[in-house]
Amino acid sequence: MTNQVIDRIRDALRVVIDPELGYNIIDLGFVYDISVIDGAVRIVMTATTPGCPAIRFLEEGVANAAARVPGVRSVDIVMTFDPPWTPSRIEPEVRASLGFAAVN
Amino acid sequence: MIGASISRWTMSYFAAALAWLFVALALMVAGLGFPAVHLASPDTLVLVHVVCIGWLSLAMCGALFQFVPVLVARPLFSEKWALPALGLLTAGLVSLLAGFLGLGGRLPAWLWLLPLGAILLAGGFGLVVVDLGMTAWLRPVGPARFVLVGLASLCATVAFGAMFAFTHAGWAGSIGETILANGVPLHAIAGLGGWLTLTAMGVSYRLLSMFMLSPDVDDRKSNMTLAAGALAIAVAVVGGIVAIWLVSGLNVVLSIAAVLGLATAALYGRDLIGIFSGRKRRQLELNTRMAVLSFVSLAAAAFLGVVLVLTGAFAAHVGAFTFLAVFGWLSGLVLAKLYKIVAFLTWLEAYGPVMGRTPTPRVQDLVAEARASKWFVIYYVAVWFGTLTLVAGQPSAFRAAAAMMTIGLAGIVREVIRTRRLADVAGSLRLPNGACTPCLLCARA
């Protein structure tokens, strides 16, 4: 049941994009961890650049999207830059379409 | 703080700055100021201050109110000071320009307008310096150090300028007369070299790394670049004042500052090569491609300066050198980055609040790069052509170049307004439920 909720949350988060890269944060590898205990969701996520003004909106967008999933009672977002995000976290087909160098 | 807020008045600063740039270009097209008259004439003073305060400084302040918090990952010291600062700077500039026009006989000679303008400008820049300085000082890392040195240079520039203004009004005595007679190059170096160039360099490190996903420049390397630049400004300003005091002439001081300035440009070029070669995004967006043309202009200005010095023609062509540095390097970079910053902030304002609730466009969907690129190319070609006309001593051709620059700028501004209006976003994504078109001239509170 918990895994199903996590999968649904993961799908719901695909509506949240990084505005600069233009792809959803799941395929970009921004979401480090999703855990659910009795409907209380905790999402550990990152972004490309600390201090970027988009971060607040990414957090709110993730909270909004996750809160709409049936079975979710509360959402706690943890934004972290440890470890820092690197393009190696991007899904390979997305990385290719973004024209990324095959580094890191 | 993990994410910076949207600066409410950055767009207002950008709009005011672009309006002043149109004024400057109109003056150049009309043949007012250099090269029709000499560099120290009141008409040229009008033109120079419209460009340096009205256009470049306002654009730089607007960008810094948004990006210093990003650079240091701390909130702005005070959000409330940005608008009063813009008011003071605008009023101060108008007063200063009216004073210069009086100096040249185009208006009644109310020379008290010059010190009044200087006081208003000092108040406006004072608010900017304290606000940005207190923000950056809390966490002076990497590019933020460039901003701090830039702000210190701004203080020196304003101090010289205020002294000149009081002297023109006859309120500064013989010391003022001496500094006015000899110190104009120091005022220009502190403003163009310290405030505008070093700050632009610092901000460019962060913006280029952010938008190309490059590793930040190694602190040791950027510190070396900054040290060379700061030393150049310090030698020019402090050494220059001492030289004026000792009546020994400025040649030695300016020569040392020039060598250090050249070293700064070379080290900056090395840092840029590192950023570009380490980038993860291989495809360059328009703003980055156009920023490259500004870097080329900086290199060309450095080359031109060296050639002019070696041929003993620098004094005769200092206007051409300054024009290329101001309009190719500084203005080119500011226009390229302004194009991107407006799109990015507009996206955040329009679509940030609805993220997670509905599909949203990308930042790139707000711009039409293929259409915008031609306006940038027209602008840069006009600047380079204008530089050649100045070197060749062809004032009429220079006016044609200025007209071409105006056309390029009008095209760029039209693109920026379209971005702000979300005019290029596909209909289905343009205004999803809950999203609204941002205000053209400021961000909503």
Residue A73 DSSP SS3? coil
Give the pLDDT band (50/70/90) at residue A3: confident
Confidence bin at A101 (pLDDT 50/70/90) = low
A13, A19, A56: residue with CB nearest B362: A19
Q: Report residue A1's pLDDT band, with 50, 70 and 90 as the boundaries.
A: low
B3 to chain A: nearest residue by CA?
A: A51
Nearest CA in chain B to A9: B356
CATH code for the domain of A16: 3.30.300.130
Predicted local distance difference test score (pLDDT) of residue B444: 79
Closest CA to B5 of A14, A55, A29, A2: A55
Query: Using CA atoms, how far apart are residues B394 and B398, in angstroms rounded to an integer?
Result: 6
A20, A21, A31, best to mutate vs chain B, most B CBs in 10 Å: A20
DSSP letter, residue A88: G
User: Does a structural domain hold residue A40?
Assistant: yes
Whether residue A62 contacts residue A17, with contact meaning beta carbons closer than 8 Å, is answered with no
Q: B2-29 as b/e, with b when 16 or more CB fall inside 10 Å?
A: ebbebbbbbbbbbbbbbebbbbbbebbb
- Report strand pairing: A74-79 vs A31-37: unpaired
* A66 close to A72: Cβ distance less than 8 angstroms: yes
| A99 belongs to a structural domain | no
Under a CB-based contact definition with an 8 Å cutoff, are residues B411 and B352 in contact?
Answer: no
From chain B, pick out residues whose CB is under 8 angstroms from the CB of A100: 213, 280-282
Q: Give the list of residues 6+ apart from residue B388 with CB closer than 8 angstroms, or none.
A: none
Chain A CB within 8 Å of residue B356 CB:
yes
For A45-82, write each residue's pLDDT tens digit. Answer: 999 888 888 999 999 999 999 999 999 999 999 999 99
Measure the CA–CA gap between B193 and B229, rounded to whole angstroms: 8
Angle B420-B345-A84 from CA coordinates, rounded to 5°: 150
What's the longest Cα–Cα distance across chain A? 42
What residues of B are in contact with residue A101 (Cβ under 8 Å)?
Answer: 279-282
Torsion, Cα B248 B252 B254 B259, to 10 degrees, reads -170
Q: Which of B134, B247, B250 is nearest to B187 (CA)?
A: B250
Question: Looking at the complex, does the CB of residue B362 fall below 8 Å from at least one CB of chain A?
Answer: yes
Number of domains forming the structure of chain A: 1
Q: Is A88 on the interface with B (CB under 8 A)?
A: no
pLDDT in tens, chain B (445 residues): 566 789 999 999 999 999 999 999 999 999 999 999 999 999 999 999 999 999 999 999 999 999 999 888 889 999 999 999 999 999 999 999 999 999 999 999 999 999 999 999 999 999 999 999 999 998 888 899 999 999 999 999 999 999 999 999 999 999 999 999 999 999 999 999 999 999 999 999 989 998 888 888 999 999 999 999 999 999 999 999 999 999 999 999 999 999 999 999 999 999 999 999 999 888 899 999 999 999 999 999 999 999 999 999 999 999 999 999 999 999 999 999 999 999 999 999 999 999 999 999 999 999 999 999 999 999 999 999 999 999 999 999 999 999 999 999 999 999 999 999 999 999 889 999 889 999 999 997 6
Rounded CA-CA distance B13/B5 in Å is 17
Distance CA A64, CA A74 (A): 10
Write out chain A residues lying below 8 Å of B367, CB-based.
none
B281 neighbourhood in chain A, CB within 8 Å: 98-101
Locus of tokens 């969701």: A41
Supply angle C-alpha B162, B164, B165, rounded to 5: 65
Yes or no, beta carbons of A50 and B73 under 8 Å apart: yes
Asked if residue A24 is part of any domain, the answer here is yes
Residues A65 and B137: their CA atoms lie apart, in Å, by 38
- Residues of chain A in contact with residue B357, where contact means CB-CB under 8 angstroms, are 15, 61, 64-65, 68
Quote the pLDDT of residue B139.
Answer: 84
Domain that holds residue A34: 2-82
Give Cα B68 distance to the centre of its chain: 15
Is A15 in contact with B2 (Cβ distance < 8 A)? Answer: no
Contact B60, B196 (CB under 8 A): yes
ipTM comes to: 0.92
Q: Do A51 and B3 touch (CB under 8 A)?
A: yes
Which residues in chain B (94-133) have CB-CB distances under 8 A to chain A? none
Mutate to test the interface with A, among B2, B216, B275, B282 (most CBs of A within 10 A): B2
Q: Is A45 helix (H, G, I), strand (E, B) or coil?
A: strand
Asked, for residue A100, whether it belongs to a domain, the answer is no
B69 touches chain A (CB under 8 A): yes
**CA distance to partner chain A, nearest, from residue B68 (Å):** 10
Q: Are A62 and A43 in contact (CB under 8 A)?
A: yes
Q: How far is B97 from chain A (nearest CA, A)?
A: 37
Average model confidence (pLDDT) across chain B: 96
CA angle B412/B291/B185 to nearest 5° reads 95
Q: With contact defined as beta carbons under 8 Å apart, do A90 and A29 qualify?
A: yes
Structure tokens at B144: 């933020």
Q: If 0-12 CB within 10 Å is exposed, 13-18 middle and 19+ buried, where does residue B353 land? A: middle
**Joined tokens for residue B128:** 């900017």
* B165 neighbors B180 (Cβ within 8 angstroms): no
Please indicate if any CB of chain B lies within 8 Å of the CB of A61: yes
CB contact under 8 A, A61 and B5: no
Query: How many whole angstroms from its chain centre is CA B400?
Result: 24
Give the pLDDT of residue A98: 80
Whether B72 sits inside 8 A of A51 (CB atoms) is yes
Residue B23: per-residue pLDDT: 98
Position A93 in a domain: no
Q: Quick check: is A95 in a domain?
A: no
Which alpha helices (DSSP H) does B235-330 contain, by range? 240-246, 251-277, 286-310, 314-323
Give phi and psi for B143, each to the nearest 5.
Answer: -60, -25
